[in-house]
Amino acid sequence: MAEFWSWLPLLCAAVWSFGPVANNYGFALYFLTWQHGFVKRGLVGELFAGIPFLSRGDLLLIEYLFLVAAYVAAYIVFRRVIFGSREERLFAALLLSSPAMLPHIGYLFAQPDVTLFLLTLGCLAAWTRCSPFAALSVTTVLASVALLSHEAFSLMFYPLMVAIVWRACRRGALKWRWALVHVFLVCVVFGAVIHFGKLKVSPNTVLAEAQARTNVAVQRQVYDVMASSLGEQLALVHRLYTGYVIHVLVLTVLFSFPFWWLLFSLARRALRADGACRIDRYIFAVCMFSPLLLCALGHDTTRWIGAACADVCLYLLYLFMTEKKVRQSMSEWATGEQVYAWLAYLLLIGPYEATGIYSAVRIYGWMTL
């Protein structure tokens, strides 16, 4: 039975890993290149700029390759937990199978989330296997690459890195000056991406070029947003918060509240075992809530909620792998029968979609028939 818990996250991810291609917001990024000059969010598209035509099958293949890479990376980074004792396997299965982790990445089935998640796993691999200075150096490089992929990384997953760097500095494993240099460099990259990454041509031009390279419909909204000013983007987001989005969000909050309580309880237990003081807990809370700020810039509410929950899950797994007292505390918790009930609940409510959790979206659809 222990083997089953090890492979449960991958099984859940595989079940949920399929999405639409035509008019998929994320798939539009495969056609956003630096042909007309540097543009933000264009890194992934630039990787495939040399391919003259991408059919639906090609796009599906590319997306599955990204997803497989993310799943394999997760199993490599956390293999000591995933294939550890029975309690460790259960703990890993609980977090990795949760609505914000592998099933979420698979169900979104789109850029930039899978790339940002993959790069975040690369950072965690460094922090669990290298010296703090080497890990910080790797994080600087990978965070910069992630910002070139999508500037939302700054609030989606980079706060997780800040929490880890803060912990390393507080424990004397890393000098503060190197942490400040790291933050400065990442901020420079972020500023450069925002300043120089504006769309150089009209959205119509980019859309026409994209449509000429594929036989599926390309969602133009991503190009419109990139051509908009901040005020125009905020106005667009305001319009996109329709009654449907808000009603589904309310249901999502109701369905997700036990999951959030679980993460809060586990985080509090882990931080206590890790010896975190009050300021450490405050910094951790600020970092983990940071992705929610993106709700003001995009109506994909559960992408941002999912990122916040994923950050907590990843931080718990990081502490589990690097701190003996945390590992003992979490293993003790996982010996109880409640872990099975939590697993059943998390699997039942399904993954986070872009604007709601799967079960809430389906139930709202039935209610409004």
Beta bridge partners of 54: 214
Mean pLDDT of the chain: 95
* H-helix or E-strand spanning residue 54: none
Residue 48: band (very low, low, confident or very high) from pLDDT cuts 50, 70, 90? very high
The mean per-residue pLDDT over the stretch 126-136 comes to 98
The mean per-residue pLDDT over the stretch 32-51 comes to 95
| pLDDT in the model for residue 91 | 97
The mean per-residue pLDDT over the stretch 245-271 comes to 98
Residue 139: pLDDT over 80: yes
* 181-188, Cβ contacts within 8 angstroms, sequence gap of 24 or more: 182/136, 182/139, 182/140, 185/140, 185/144, 186/140, 186/143, 186/144, 186/147, 186/158
| pLDDT in the model for residue 138 | 99
**Residue pair 20/107 in contact by the 8 Å Cβ criterion:** no
pLDDT 10s digits, 269-307 = 999 999 999 999 999 999 999 999 999 998 899 999 999
Q: What SS3 class is residue 101? A: coil
Contacts of 115 (CB under 8 A, 6+ apart): 44, 66, 146, 149, 150
pLDDT 10s digits, 66-123 = 999 999 999 999 999 999 999 999 999 999 999 999 999 999 998 999 999 999 999 9
Domain range enclosing 38 = 2-367
Q: What SS3 class is residue 300? A: coil
Q: What SS3 class is residue 220? A: coil
- The count of structural domains within the chain is 1
Residue type, 148: L
**Residue of 336 and 248 predicted with greater confidence:** 248
Instruction: Sort 41 into a burial class: Cβ within 10 Å, 0-12 / 13-18 / 19+.
Output: buried
Chain center to CA of 242:
24
**Dihedral Cα 152, 73, 256, 159, nearest 10 deg:** -40
Listing DSSP states for 113-151 in one string gives HHHHHHHHHHHHHHHHHS-HHHHHHHHHHHHHHHHHH-T
